[in-house]
Amino acid sequence: MCKRKTLIFTALVLLPLAAATAAAAATLSGTVEATGMRHDGDAVVYVDTIAGAELDPPAEPVQMDQEQMEFIPHVLPVLVGTTVEFLNSDAVLHNVFTPDKCAGRFNLGSWPQGETRSYTFEKPCVAALLCNVHPEMEAFVVAVPTPYFAVSGRDGSYAIEGLPDGEYTVKVWHPKLPETSRSVTVAGDTAADFELKK
Ligand SMILES: [Cu+2]
């Protein structure tokens, strides 16, 4: 490569990186209090639709496992358009289906250990995932409009990283409590706490 070409090449590679770094600086963090629940975990804190933003789903599928008779994780937020790959890690057959219309009430069938089946979540959706072999198994895929989401830990803490500064509607979904939302101004690292009540 001649010197001039190298320079142009370097500029083309570095400029978008610099722009992305400058735009994605802040962390939104805080706690969720799930009133009346045994712990404060499993809440999905997410940024609602951002007008004009181009948000591509990940190229690779996101995995949900079935291991020791449980879906892992119990709650999986994804950006709309993401493919979720369901793995069976147990030595017994598992099934995955959802009764929820926003995910087309899919039933992926039953499959043995080490195999996967996939589903692409094309719409914003809360899909309860069930296994028709083991009625006690349950999980949730929460397909949301932006990639800015986090699941609260059992202590209620959450952190959404890489959020550009701006004014957002932040929503909090929980498996058993009504959803809440409010507007949050992010200007550098920002704190926001939420309380969920029946
Ligand atoms: Cu099962």
Q: Which structural domains are found in the chain, ordered by start?
A: 26-49+164-198 (2.60.40.1120), 56-144 (2.60.40.420)
pLDDT of 17 over the 70 cut: no
Average pLDDT value over all residues in the chain: 91
Ligand 1 centre and the CA of 111: distance in Å? 10
Distance CA 37, CA 169 (A): 25
Token digits for 146? 């932006």
**Type and span of the H or E element at 6:** helix 3-23
Ligand 1 centre and the CA of 97: distance in Å? 10
Distance CA 56, CA 105 (A): 24
pLDDT tens-digit profile of 53-109?
A: 889 999 999 999 999 999 999 999 999 999 999 999 999 999 999 999 999 999 999
pLDDT of 11 over the 60 cut: no
- The DSSP line for 97-130 is E---GGGTT-EEEEE-TT-EEEEE--SSEEEEEE
pLDDT tens-digit profile of 116-156?
A: 999 999 999 999 999 999 999 999 999 999 999 999 999 99
Ligand 1 centre and the CA of 120: distance in Å? 21
Ligand 1 centre and the CA of 139: distance in Å? 11
Ligand 1 centre and the CA of 136: distance in Å? 8
Burial classification of residue 46, based on how many CB atoms lie within 10 Å of its CB (0-12 exposed, 13-18 middle, 19 or more buried): buried
**Type and span of the H or E element at 95:** strand 94-97
Distance CA 66, CA 110 (A): 12
Ligand 1 centre and the CA of 8: distance in Å? 55
How many of the other CB atoms lie within 10 Å of CB of 122?
Answer: 15
Ligand 1 centre and the CA of 77: distance in Å? 21
pLDDT tens-digit profile of 168-198?
A: 999 999 999 999 999 999 999 999 999 999 9
